Amino acid sequence: MRAAFDIDDRNVFASRLSISKSGLAHYERGERVPDAELLCAYHREFGVNISWLVTGQGDMFETGQSTNTEHGSHQLLVDLINPLGRLINKVYRDQQVRITDDQRFAELTRWHNNLTSRAGPSFEWNDLMSQLPWVEQSLAEELRLKRADAEGNKRSTG
């Protein structure tokens, strides 16, 4: 990412993001998953498209949001990351399933995309929040089915 901005000095880049040099190194090596605050810093400081950061799809940079409505919609998508991430953690904890940081990031990306697709093109905060019970129920069911399948496989091989 630093190369895209022609900033070789890790310390300079880290200070722009308001994180430590060693913290940036962890992110660059893939040892940590960026939280919502860091994603917002990339957007604020460098104009990086948060959807691109989360999914790898679309353009790396914002294409100049022309209206407050568009900016508001974009901010809703950013604001959704924290409650959705907490919900994913809760479901995994409730189902007593361990999750790595990489898996958590993949789940956050997947459910963020599912949720925003389900909400449709013109959504509001309450529309997004009203979909969280669906995410919780769907994810819990997926985890239960995976556990049942794994237990069935253990019985058939044991």
CA 59 distance to own-chain centroid: 17
Nearest to 84 by CA among 144, 118, 132, 42: 132
Q: Using CA atoms, how far apart are residues 120 and 117, in angstroms rounded to an integer?
A: 5
pLDDT of residue 66: 38
Q: Using CA atoms, how far apart are residues 43 and 17, in angstroms rounded to an integer?
A: 10
pLDDT of residue 62: 65
Q: Using CA atoms, how far apart are residues 90 and 52, in angstroms rounded to an integer?
A: 26
pLDDT of residue 122: 66
Q: pTM of this prediction?
A: 0.56
55 falls within a domain: no
Contact (CB, 8 A) for 81 and 39? yes
8 falls within a domain: no
Number of domains observed in the structure of the chain:
1
The tens place of each residue's pLDDT in the chain, 158 residues long, gives: 877 777 788 988 888 888 999 999 998 888 888 888 888 888 877 778 888 887 777 877 766 543 334 445 667 777 888 899 999 999 999 999 999 888 888 898 889 888 887 877 667 788 888 889 999 999 999 999 999 988 887 777 66
46 falls within a domain: no
138 falls within a domain: yes
